[in-house]
Amino acid sequence: MTIPHRDLDVRPILRDGGEPFSAIMEAVAELAPGQSLRLLASFKPIPLFQVLGAHGFEPVSREIGGGDWEVVFTPAAAPAPVVETSDSVDHGLGDDWQVPAREIDCRDLDPPEPMVKTLEGVEALAAGETLSALLPREPLFLFEELKARGHEWRGGFEPEGHYRIVIRAGSRGEK
Amino acid sequence: MIGSSLSRWTMAFFTGAVIFLIAAECLMVAGYGFPAMAAEAPETLLLVHTVTIGWLSLLMCGALLQFVPVLVVQPLRDEILVLPALLCLLAGLTSLLAGFLGLTGMLDTDIPFLLIGGCLLPIGFGLVLWTLGRTLWQARPLPLPARFVAVGLTCLAATFLLGTFFAHILSGLISDAVMIDFRTKVLPVHAAAGFGGWLTFTAIGVSYRLLPMFMLAPDAERTTNHIVWWSGSIALLSIIMGAPVEFILAGSARIASVIAGLSAMVALVCYGFDLFFFYRNRKRRNIELNSKSAIGAFAALYLSAALLLNLLATGTFANHAGALIYLVAFGWLTGLGLSQLYKIVPFLTWLECYGPVMGRKPTPRVQDLMVERRDGPWFVLYFAGLLGGTVALLADAPNLFRITAAMTLLATAAIVIELVLARRLFNVAAAVRFPEGTTRPHLFLPAIRNH
């Protein structure tokens, strides 16, 4: 890779009790084509792997001492494999899907709360915006409801066993 | 109707099922069939099939049509066959019961009801097997809970094939003495395939998904889960395939029974560990009434196993088989069925009513559809009646049994009324009951999504 890494150290943000997600996404949006992002964090940022995976980045992580981690997200030549998509998604990956506007964690909610929270988030999106949600299991009922409302989704299981779904709000959703 | 994930006819199956349950409990209170009459009497056959086909099998079919697609994350195949299946099952069961009524002499007719039932029921079950089987087949490799269901469905096939054979004998079409002798010998196989395979093994499989889901317990597959599946499958295979073969070859089924008994015990012990694990490692500290009352059903399952061992050890199995079957059918299976309906019916009702406006309008919670504090005592009464009934059967006290049966009937009726109230969203404050864009769910007919 001829282009140098872009470095982002989110440890100060984390130390101040802040949420580094938006900073990371801004940095990703500013990457040159083919450029990698080197992220320094005070923990292994596993949730990011799938979010950036959906954008075609492959993570390589290593512990750099003191509990800190360095992760290099390299844009993959081929799209990262995504287990499932809604029928309406017919593009390749990493095309016109925006960086998720929000990320919500529903892993500890009992059914049907994960679906309620996710749909609430989706309803707040403008057409074309995306939302990323962590769910305790594969959301069969949610898939159907998203389809009925004209939204698109991509999702898959993460190594920890939960399900991550990224939803893009459609314009033909029934409002 | 939200999407196609809600099985259109599941509520209709459930409705038919609870009607047959109430009818069966009324018969027991009235002293119809066992224990007031002999276990072999046609009255007892009528009662047993009202419970096993009318209540338990319709309940299981309705639940599987809803949950198999969820278990394998695939839509149900050939959904169009579900309504004909339900109609065949209802008509077939009615004919079968009329046939038994004919055997009692109460119904004098030339219509071969037993035979009609013996044909319609296999068609109905066959259609259910086809849709569920095809759905499972398309989803290979199957996750573990679905593998339990696959074995359970195989046992359903074995149960109704034997049942059809019996219906032909009872209606006089087969009069060969060897066959009639064979019938008495494979009757326990029919019962084991039905209670042990189709109903119990399937219920265990579904519980592996439902319990963690409702209690937020870890549901990653563990070694014990696999041991339950393997040992349970070996037990069932040994009883369904091994026992009849051993009968024909050796005249008894001693070896097959020992293998089946030992494997079943291994399965039950490991299942016990898994149940303990789910309750112990749940993330929800306060468990809901459905998971609480299910403990009564699990207790009944282990009590049944203990009773079976005790009856075998004391050589009194033949005298008290009725008590054991009652404990399995009404303690374990009915107890689990009622406790899970208590969650599933409000959950499906909630999805049906509020799904379309979810995320757009404030909606009540699923818990708001029920009043647990009011309903808890009914489950206590149910299990108290069940225990009393088992004791009454063991003590050969038919009149005491009728009193305890009245307790279970009262409790069941109260729980069913609560389920109807949930369908009507009665417990939700009227002001927030139907936000704009929702439609009132039908009691048991499917809704059509109105947009």
Output the six-digit token pair for B416: 């069913």
* Per-residue pLDDT, B448: 59
* Partner residues linked to A134 by β-bridges: A105, A164
Q: Is B73 on the interface with A (CB under 8 A)?
A: yes
Whether residue B94 is predicted with pLDDT greater than 90 in this model: the reply is: yes
Question: Peptide bond before B188: cis, by omega within 30 degrees of 0?
Answer: no
Report the residue of A85, A116, A125 to disrupt the B interface, i.e. the one with the largest count of B CBs within 10 Å: A116
Q: Is B284 on the interface with A (CB under 8 A)?
A: yes
Task: Taking residues B334-354, report their average pLDDT.
Answer: 94
* Per-residue pLDDT, B1: 37
User: Residue B181's pLDDT band (boundaries 50, 70, 90)?
Assistant: confident
The shortest CB-CB distance from B5 to any of A141, A174, A175 is to: A141
Task: Taking residues B430-449, report their average pLDDT.
Answer: 82
The shortest CB-CB distance from A148 to any of B3, B213, B219 is to: B3
Chain A partners within 8 Å of B351 (Cβ): 112, 141
**Tens digit of each residue's pLDDT (9 = 90 or more) over B401-419:** 999 999 999 999 999 999 9
Instruction: For chain A, list residues whose CB is within 8 angstroms of any CB belonging to chain B.
Output: 108, 110-112, 115-116, 118-123, 136-138, 140-141, 143-145, 147-148, 161, 174-175
Whether residue A92 is predicted with pLDDT greater than 50 in this model: the reply is: no
Return all residues near B8 (Cβ < 8 A) that are at least 6 apart. B1, B79, B82, B83, B446
> Using an 8 Å Cβ cutoff, are B123 and B169 in contact?
no
**Tens digit of each residue's pLDDT (9 = 90 or more) over B226-272:** 999 999 999 999 999 998 888 888 888 889 999 999 999 999 999 99
Of all residues in chain B, the one with the smallest CA distance to A118 is B359
Whether residue A87 is predicted with pLDDT greater than 80 in this model: the reply is: no
Q: With residue A103 as reference, give the H or E element that holds it.
A: strand A102-105
The shortest CB-CB distance from B2 to any of A145, A161, A175 is to: A145
* Per-residue pLDDT, A78: 44
Whether residue B179 is predicted with pLDDT greater than 90 in this model: the reply is: no
Q: Is B361 on the interface with A (CB under 8 A)?
A: no
Among the listed ranges A7-11, B19-23, B169-173, which one has the minimum average pLDDT value?
Answer: B169-173
Whether residue B317 is predicted with pLDDT greater than 70 in this model: the reply is: yes
> Using an 8 Å Cβ cutoff, are A14 and A42 in contact?
yes
**Percent of chain B scoring above 90 in pLDDT:** 66
Burial class (CB in 10 A: 0-12, 13-18, 19+), A62: exposed
Opening angle at CA B58, ends B57 and B63, nearest 5: 95
Report the residue of B358, B436, B451 to disrupt the A interface, i.e. the one with the largest count of A CBs within 10 Å: B358
Strand positions, DSSP E, B21-126: none
Task: Taking residues B219-228, report their average pLDDT.
Answer: 89
End-to-end CA gap in chain A: 46
**Tens digit of each residue's pLDDT (9 = 90 or more) over B363-409:** 899 989 999 999 999 999 999 999 999 999 999 999 999 999 999 99
Question: Peptide bond before A136: cis, by omega within 30 degrees of 0?
Answer: no
Instruction: Report how far residue B145's alpha carbon sits from residue B148's, in angstroms, rounded to the nearest whole number.
Output: 5
* CA A39 to chain CA mean position, Å: 16
Task: Taking residues B190-201, report their average pLDDT.
Answer: 94
Q: Is B126 on the interface with A (CB under 8 A)?
A: no
The shortest CB-CB distance from A111 to any of B213, B220, B451 is to: B213
Instruction: Report how far residue B240's alpha carbon sits from residue B151's, in angstroms, rounded to the nearest whole number.
Output: 12
- Pairwise CB contact (< 8 Å): A110 & B360: no
Instruction: Report how far residue A163's alpha carbon sits from residue B4's, in angstroms, rounded to the nearest whole number.
Output: 21
Instruction: Report how far residue B151's alpha carbon sits from residue B144's, in angstroms, rounded to the nearest whole number.
Output: 11
Among the listed ranges A138-142, A158-162, B419-423, which one has the minimum average pLDDT value?
Answer: A158-162
Task: Taking residues B79-106, report their average pLDDT.
Answer: 94
User: Residue A95's pLDDT band (boundaries 50, 70, 90)?
Assistant: low
Q: How many CB atoms lie within 10 A of CB B83?
A: 14
Instruction: Report how far residue A117's alpha carbon sits from residue A105's, in angstroms, rounded to the nearest whole number.
Output: 9
Task: Taking residues B275-287, report their average pLDDT.
Answer: 89
Query: Read out DSSP for A52-76?
Result: HHTTTEEEEEEEEETTEEEEEEEE-
* Per-residue pLDDT, A126: 86
End-to-end CA gap in chain B: 10
Query: Read out DSSP for A30-58?
Result: TPPTT--EEEEESS--HHHHHHHHTTTEE
Mean pLDDT of chain A: 79
Query: Read out DSSP for B314-379?
Result: HT-HHHHHHHHHHIIIIIIIHHHHHHHHHHHHHHHHHHHHHGGGTTTS----GGGG--HHHHHHHH
- Pairwise CB contact (< 8 Å): B363 & A116: yes
User: Residue B347's pLDDT band (boundaries 50, 70, 90)?
Assistant: very high
Burial class (CB in 10 A: 0-12, 13-18, 19+), B176: exposed
Instruction: Report how far residue A163's alpha carbon sits from residue A132's, in angstroms, rounded to the nearest whole number.
Output: 11
> Using an 8 Å Cβ cutoff, are B366 and A109 in contact?
no
Nearest to B320 by CA among B239, B257, B396: B396
Chain B partners within 8 Å of A175 (Cβ): 360
The shortest CB-CB distance from A116 to any of B69, B283, B358 is to: B358
Of residues B294 and B173, more confidence is placed in B294
Number of H helices, E strands in chain B: 17, 0
Chain A partners within 8 Å of B436 (Cβ): none
**Percent of chain A scoring above 70 in pLDDT:** 86
User: Residue A160's pLDDT band (boundaries 50, 70, 90)?
Assistant: confident
Task: Taking residues A47-51, report their average pLDDT.
Answer: 78
User: Residue A36's pLDDT band (boundaries 50, 70, 90)?
Assistant: confident
Rounded to a whole number, what is the distance in Å from the CA of A12 to chain B's nearest CA? 32
Rounded to a whole number, what is the distance in Å from the CA of A130 to chain B's nearest CA? 16
- Pairwise CB contact (< 8 Å): A141 & B351: yes
Long-range contacts of B163-169 (CB under 8 A, 24+ apart): B163/B118, B163/B121, B163/B122, B163/B190, B164/B118, B164/B119, B164/B121, B164/B122, B166/B118, B166/B190, B167/B96, B167/B99, B167/B114, B167/B115, B167/B117, B167/B118, B168/B115, B168/B118
> Using an 8 Å Cβ cutoff, are A116 and A85 in contact?
no
> Using an 8 Å Cβ cutoff, are A111 and B347 in contact?
yes
Mean pLDDT of chain B: 91
Among the listed ranges B194-203, B237-246, B300-309, which one has the minimum average pLDDT value?
Answer: B237-246
Task: Taking residues B410-436, report their average pLDDT.
Answer: 93
Q: Is B355 on the interface with A (CB under 8 A)?
A: yes
Strand positions, DSSP E, B223-324: none
Instruction: Tell me if residue B5 falls in helix, strand or coil.
Output: coil
* Partner residues linked to A155 by β-bridges: A84, A165
Provide the edge-to-edge strand list for the sheet that holds A102-105: A84-85, A152-157, A163-168, A130-135, A102-105
Q: Is B2 on the interface with A (CB under 8 A)?
A: yes
Among the listed ranges A35-44, A157-166, B9-18, B27-36, which one has the minimum average pLDDT value?
Answer: A157-166
User: Residue A100's pLDDT band (boundaries 50, 70, 90)?
Assistant: confident
* Per-residue pLDDT, B447: 67
Task: Taking residues B281-301, report their average pLDDT.
Answer: 92
- Pairwise CB contact (< 8 Å): B220 & A112: no
* Partner residues linked to A65 by β-bridges: A68
* Per-residue pLDDT, B124: 96
User: Residue A34's pLDDT band (boundaries 50, 70, 90)?
Assistant: confident
* Per-residue pLDDT, B313: 92
Among the listed ranges A124-133, A155-164, B290-299, which one has the minimum average pLDDT value?
Answer: A155-164
Output the six-digit token pair for B60: 């299981």
Rounded to a whole number, what is the distance in Å from the CA of A62 to chain B's nearest CA? 27
Of all residues in chain B, the one with the smallest CA distance to A84 is B73
> What is the complex's ipTM, to 2 decimals?
0.75
Chain B partners within 8 Å of A123 (Cβ): 359-360
Give the C-alpha distances (Å, rounded to integers) separating B154 from B158, B188, B240, B384. Answer: 6, 17, 10, 34
